[in-house]
Structure 1
């Protein structure tokens, strides 16, 4: 409070407001006695000068409380600066409405010093604008006016750029969720957004909100185009830029780490992905939702690259209580599909649980199907994988009748939901499974009659579309090997034999 009273002093002498504060602090004077000591006999508490002085003191006391709040509040992180900065800005606005200009100036300076380096544009823009207005209209100071007006202009322009970047980022998400364009078509549009924004964004290297939004959009656009190596390089660049911003958000940095892992999965590069997973673990809080996402990518990396033991052990380490606690039911179902694929690979002899660190629960197909009701309705999404899992399970278990009973339904499903280009590999794999049924589950006949469809499924065009299609968990080439290894063979004397995977 003493610092604030000095604002009202003139040449070091106590001011009227200082005298009022001293008299009030005595505590043994009536309001009438205080007025008499300040203005002499004949004046009452309704005297206009006294009422103005009392109002000014009240504003100073409010300012003192806010002053203590500014200093006691935590501004050590971006998030705390964001919360406390907005709180102080709201109180400053209230003081402006009371025309307490000196208090406004004092607190605006104080708050700006605490938050400015975080480059939180709405806060910095408002505070510098307030200070420029005060130095222009309340105690004109040309030097200070020019200083804060220049900063206000800078932040106003930066806000316009942030709004443009945010608008394009939201448009990218709309295009993705609408499912009206192919991923590479969306990626091309995003590349246009990036080209327009990049020259503007580069002018504001310390604005973490702008840099994070821009780089998330840029990296996502590259993944949609299938440019995964470039996406990894861009994510590395983004991390460098964000670390140069004071208090760069943990969420943005962890998102860049997850993106690098995701791109390694898309590239099916186990060595790179393995290193990126280890790197990401140092940047992501344990048992957080991002930690679960990292585990999901690690499991998928193993499944996509044929390192099935790695996938098994990564899944065995996951805290299942955290899955239920942190994820929505539909995402929990996705984890059940991952687990089902790993169990299918165990049944096919691709994984030996006895050699693994950790153990998964016993797998029951019907329990699994009952536990994924949301995805069972997602006809163009993960329901495809649920159907494939069932067919392969029945083949491994030699339950051919259950596949035959479902054949007509599978044919209708493929013709209704899998005819677009994005589902080319899904459609081809469905046809391969149906070919096995038409060939009475005989290996030689199936290989011969499925060759054309298999070549189409493994064509460059299909592979490009397949990488953008997130529903393919285990590569269909691998699953087709499992199917063929578990089909019937026929000996020279006509007896049917089984050739099981070892």
Structure 2
């Protein structure tokens, strides 16, 4: 059917689907011919009508897809019953309303959705009150009081968990204060879980323990926690309607990466990849670490293949700006380590432009990517044999080391930069450089991975970057 024969809402939907980046003015002109004030007002009304129709379709979404978050289908089922039971009560259909609310309560208790169980009890109490059913009223009132106590524990546990996770997204300086606070958080979460004993309090405690281990760099402990949780699930000690094994899978892959168990992590990632839905934001987090595992394992061909898989995902350009920046830097590294013939000429030119011009300069606190950015710039100019830019980047690395890498937790980054600043001292001779750097390289190989709060992200392990540097210099020194 011709677009002109469609209704206005359908025409607008077609236009937006064809060009998701179209501005309001552009769409107005296409819909009404001009961008006059009257047409823009008409456009706002049209958009409102279309939005209302789209929102109505939310009632018909299929939440049973096994690829979606596990608890979603059960949570939505409770909400649906609660909504219908409430509407029926308002219509005076008390018997049918009670039946649906009772079912909602039963399913909420099975899924340990305390908030929905509490709401269902509230509405049932109102029904029993208005129907003068004293015995039922007393029973539901007692259950409601107990649920509210449980809900209070869950709210407190979730608040702690949320505060910690928000702090983990803040600048490095703020995150460094967390390790000292974590024992107190863990102790309080354990108390709340002993009191409530619900899945929600378990999950908060579980996450807090993993954050504590991550901050301390104890990634083997995280692997142990995920294995134990899987066993609890198999033993029926965790709610199968709530515990999504994919969360465990992602955390396990991440822990294998950080604990340098690259080959084992790659095997797990290959198995787990099919369980993550391509439309989920977790899919991109998973593939980001999947690619990092391939890079750390030295399998650069697989890293490139995985990068292409991620880029073909229709949701790739819809990620948050911060995520897109990480992917740009990750792509630059993946392509930088490829043989020249593996990339088309156009892409090689784009990579050179990215590395030399558009890679952002380091900021005072850029979530641990500063060293990765500066080193990529340095390696690019080393490969191009451009002496002045190389010396400029080395000076920036030296200053960055002095200003930002003074803590014990930044030992690995500090050792790498100390290796790199040796370049001009040996006149970029790879043989002399390898000899001069032996002791520092040994220290680097023995330096432990630090916790997430302090670590600079190693897109490629620093030992491999050093080998790559020596290989570039064998092709000639910058001039």
Q: TM-score scaled by structure 1?
A: 0.68
Q: Aligned residue for 1:198?
A: 190
Alignment of 1:40-79 (within 5 A): 77-79=73-75
Relative to structure 1, the CA distance from residue 337 to residue 104 in structure 2 (aligned partners, 3 Å threshold; closer, same or farther) is closer
Alignment of 1:176-325 (within 5 A): 176=168, 177-180=170-173, 186-187=178-179, 189-198=181-190, 200-201=192-193, 207-239=198-230, 244-245=238-239, 247-248=241-242, 252-320=244-312, 322=314, 324-325=316-317
Q: Aligned residue for 2:464?
A: 478
Relative to structure 1, the CA distance from residue 467 to residue 275 in structure 2 (aligned partners, 3 Å threshold; closer, same or farther) is farther
In the alignment, the residues of structure 2 paired with residue 385 and residue 297 of structure 1 have an alpha-carbon distance, to the nearest angstrom, of 16
My pick for the range that moved more, 387-396 or 145-154, is 145-154
- Tell whether 2:112 aligns with 1:119: yes
Q: Aligned residue for 1:401?
A: 388
| Aligned partners of 1:169 and 1:213 also within 8 Å | yes
- Tell whether 2:415 aligns with 1:415: no
Relative to structure 1, the CA distance from residue 447 to residue 92 in structure 2 (aligned partners, 3 Å threshold; closer, same or farther) is same
User: Deviation string for 1:242-275 (max 9, x for gaps)?
Assistant: 68536327xx543222111100111121232123
Question: Secondary structure at 1:235's aligned position in 2?
Answer: helix
User: Deviation string for 1:375-396 (max 9, x for gaps)?
Assistant: 7785563232121012122223
Question: Secondary structure at 1:486's aligned position in 2?
Answer: helix
My pick for the range that moved more, 381-390 or 303-312, is 303-312
Relative to structure 1, the CA distance from residue 373 to residue 478 in structure 2 (aligned partners, 3 Å threshold; closer, same or farther) is closer
- Tell whether 2:67 aligns with 1:80: no
Q: Which runs of 5+ in 1 are unaligned?
A: 1-71, 489-496
Relative to structure 1, the CA distance from residue 74 to residue 333 in structure 2 (aligned partners, 3 Å threshold; closer, same or farther) is closer
| Aligned partners of 2:254 and 2:289 also within 8 Å | yes
Question: Secondary structure at 1:248's aligned position in 2?
Answer: coil
Alignment of 1:126-141 (within 5 A): 126-131=119-124, 138-141=131-134
Q: TM-score scaled by structure 2?
A: 0.71
- The count of residues paired between Structure 1 and Structure 2 equals 405
Give the structure with higher Rg (CA): 1
Relative to structure 1, the CA distance from residue 369 to residue 258 in structure 2 (aligned partners, 3 Å threshold; closer, same or farther) is farther
Relative to structure 1, the CA distance from residue 134 to residue 344 in structure 2 (aligned partners, 3 Å threshold; closer, same or farther) is closer
After TM superposition, give the deviation of residue 159 of structure 1 in Å.
Answer: 0.5
Question: Secondary structure at 1:419's aligned position in 2?
Answer: coil
After TM superposition, give the deviation of residue 336 of structure 1 in Å.
Answer: 2.1
In the alignment, the residues of structure 2 paired with residue 259 and residue 394 of structure 1 have an alpha-carbon distance, to the nearest angstrom, of 36
Question: Secondary structure at 1:435's aligned position in 2?
Answer: coil
Alignment of 1:339-350 (within 5 A): 339-347=331-339
- Tell whether 2:415 aligns with 1:428: yes
User: Deviation string for 1:262-318 (max 9, x for gaps)?
Assistant: 001111212321232133223211353222222111110122233333323322332
My pick for the range that moved more, 311-320 or 258-267, is 311-320
In the alignment, the residues of structure 2 paired with residue 439 and residue 323 of structure 1 have an alpha-carbon distance, to the nearest angstrom, of 48
In the alignment, the residues of structure 1 paired with residue 172 and residue 452 of structure 2 have an alpha-carbon distance, to the nearest angstrom, of 16
Structure of greater relative contact order (alpha carbons < 8 Å, 6+ residues apart):
2
| Aligned partners of 1:228 and 1:263 also within 8 Å | yes
Relative to structure 1, the CA distance from residue 416 to residue 74 in structure 2 (aligned partners, 3 Å threshold; closer, same or farther) is closer
- Tell whether 2:387 aligns with 1:391: no
| Aligned partners of 1:379 and 1:417 also within 8 Å | no
What CA RMSD, in Å, does the superposition of the two structures yield over aligned residues? 3.9
After TM superposition, give the deviation of residue 88 of structure 1 in Å.
Answer: 4.2
After TM superposition, give the deviation of residue 448 of structure 1 in Å.
Answer: 4.4
Among 440, 455, 463, the alignment partner of 1:469 is 455
After TM superposition, give the deviation of residue 331 of structure 1 in Å.
Answer: 1.7
Q: Aligned residue for 1:440?
A: 427
After TM superposition, give the deviation of residue 370 of structure 1 in Å.
Answer: 4.2
Q: Which runs of 5+ in 2 are unaligned?
A: 1-59, 65-72
User: Deviation string for 1:427-483 (max 9, x for gaps)?
Assistant: 3322221211222112344344444544554444x5435896251111111111222
